[in-house]
Amino acid sequence: MSKKLPAIRFVPRPDWQKKRLAEWLEEWNLEQKLRGDTESETPSQDRHFPVIGAVVGLMNTPALLRTADFAADIVRRLSSAKAPSPPAVSPDGEAMRKLVREFDRPVAVGQVRLLSPELTPDSDRPVFIAVFGEWDEAEVLIAPFSPFSVPATTGEWLTGRTTPVLQVLEVWNARSVPNAALEESWRVDAFTDAECKGAWHVFEHDAFGKALDPEFEQQVGPPLVHPEDPRRRYQDEEVALLAKFQASAQSMQGRRFDEDDSAPAAAAAPELQEAFETGEDLALAASEKELLPEIVRVDDLLAGFQGEATGDGCAPSKASRLRLTFTGPESPRPMEVPAGGVIIVWPTGQTEPSSFTHRSGRWRTEIRLSLPWPEMVSLLREKKIRSETVPPA
């Protein structure tokens, strides 16, 4: 006799998502044909059963490994290339100055820039990026533009521009870099304030799970769920594209932090962070809006995950709820992601379990607490908040 399932029900994906996926796949497949990529994309797992592919993929093929494979593949291809020719003899200095513009400095939010070939040696296209937000001190948030005209995932934003190379911004591939890391690039255009805000909004959605405003809902791509989805290979390629740039940016960051360490703490840390770290009475400070941090890092709240707490809404000091977001890369491996989710406990209450979801190569969960932000800051400061993992039901 056949067994019974509970009365579950599904909501069909909206048609626009299906249409957009089909359009993106058409561009991707065309790109593969144009590359003359006749070698078959070897399925890493059994594709006869999508479910098996899904689960085995989840267990066994983290994106980081695939990125490493891709990088290894590039090295392999380069090393097996034909016998070396003599290096190019460039036109002399004067001639080169006429051909290659000097890099544009300084770097500022709102610029659209083209990275130099030196920064993107493995790229098969010019890489354009948008500088769409301030980050830390002397750091900006940047994201590259996609080569395609259709957004691939919920982390890609249709900018509304008609220039082929600036139509879709890969917000999921955003990264914070020191301004200096962008100095070897050319300014080619500018983002308007509205475009910067749009990119930032999609970034908050992708990175922290913030809901998209209705007008943005159809300006992004369809969700990425299946591990065998070709969009994952695309993402791996796009991440690898910026590998050298990222390495150079990180080494600059490292240098900057080293310099910061040797500076007096008061000069190195922003005022608010200092107040938070040196143990001033934040419960009191919380009443002073200017002393209330807008974001508090809570990386020690859940082992293996980065966390940050923010007030809910544009005016955190007035918020009645807290948004707590934990993100972890592919490592910790899925086995270390709390299967039953996580709860947050404080002296007067606790949350419902919140599960982790896998999005854009990271494990995330977002937890909302019904506590005023000032009180929350105080509790965090006094370490009266803790997380508990929930075993699977």
Partner 1 sequence: MNDFAPWQEWGERCAADLCSEDTQAALHEFAGMKWSLYLERGTRGSEIPGSGKISSREAWQRFENYCWIKPTREGKSTKSYLFGQLDVGKEGTPADIVRASASLIMRSVVRDFLRHEGPLRFPGHAKPALSLSDVPPNSSESLTYEDLLRDTRDPSKEAEFRELEQLAVKEAVEIIAGLKERQLIVITACALGIALSNPEVEKIAGCKKSVLSEELKKTLRDIEKGIHKDYAEEDVRGRIELAEEVFRAIHNICSQPKNQPEMWQSRLFSLATDIEK
Restricting to residues 37-76, which ones interact with partner 1 according to CB under 8 A?
40-43, 45-56, 58-60, 62
State whether residue 345 is helix, strand or coil.
strand
Q: 350 and 371 in contact (C-beta within 8 Å)?
A: no
C-alpha–C-alpha distance, residues 188 and 17, integer Å: 32
Q: 205 and 360 in contact (C-beta within 8 Å)?
A: no
Contacting partner 1 (CB under 8 A), which of 16, 33, 251, 284?
A: 33
Q: 212 and 202 in contact (C-beta within 8 Å)?
A: yes
Q: Is 78 in the site for partner 1 (CB under 8 A)?
A: no
The minimum distance between CB 48 and partner 1, in angstroms, equals 5
Write out the binding residues for partner 1, residues 2-31 only, by CB under 8 A.
Answer: 2-13, 17-18, 21-23, 25-27, 29-31
Q: Is 390 in the site for partner 1 (CB under 8 A)?
A: no
The minimum distance between CB 273 and partner 1, in angstroms, equals 32
> Of the two residues 33 and 197, which places its CB atom closer to partner 1 in the complex?
33
Residue 149: count other Cβ atoms within 10 Å of its Cβ. 14
Residue 121: count other Cβ atoms within 10 Å of its Cβ. 10
Site string for partner 1, 314-353 (x = CB under 8 A): -------------------xxx---x--------------
Write out the binding residues for partner 1, residues 285-304 only, by CB under 8 A.
Answer: none
Q: 147 and 238 in contact (C-beta within 8 Å)?
A: no
Q: Is 96 in the site for partner 1 (CB under 8 A)?
A: yes
Residue 89: count other Cβ atoms within 10 Å of its Cβ. 6
**Start-to-end Cα distance in the chain:** 27
Contacting partner 1 (CB under 8 A), which of 64, 70, 110, 149?
A: 149
Write out the binding residues for partner 1, residues 207-266 only, by CB under 8 A.
Answer: 222-223, 225-226, 228-231
> Of the two residues 75 and 225, which places its CB atom closer to partner 1 in the complex?
225
Q: Is 182 in the site for partner 1 (CB under 8 A)?
A: no
Q: Is 105 in the site for partner 1 (CB under 8 A)?
A: no
Site string for partner 1, 115-144 (x = CB under 8 A): -xxx--x--xxx-x----------------
Write out the binding residues for partner 1, residues 367-386 only, by CB under 8 A.
Answer: none
What is the residue-wise DSSP string for 259-327? HHHHS-HHHHS-HHHHHHHTT--HHHHTTSGGGS-SEEE-TTSSTT-EEEEEESSS-GGG-SSEEEEEE
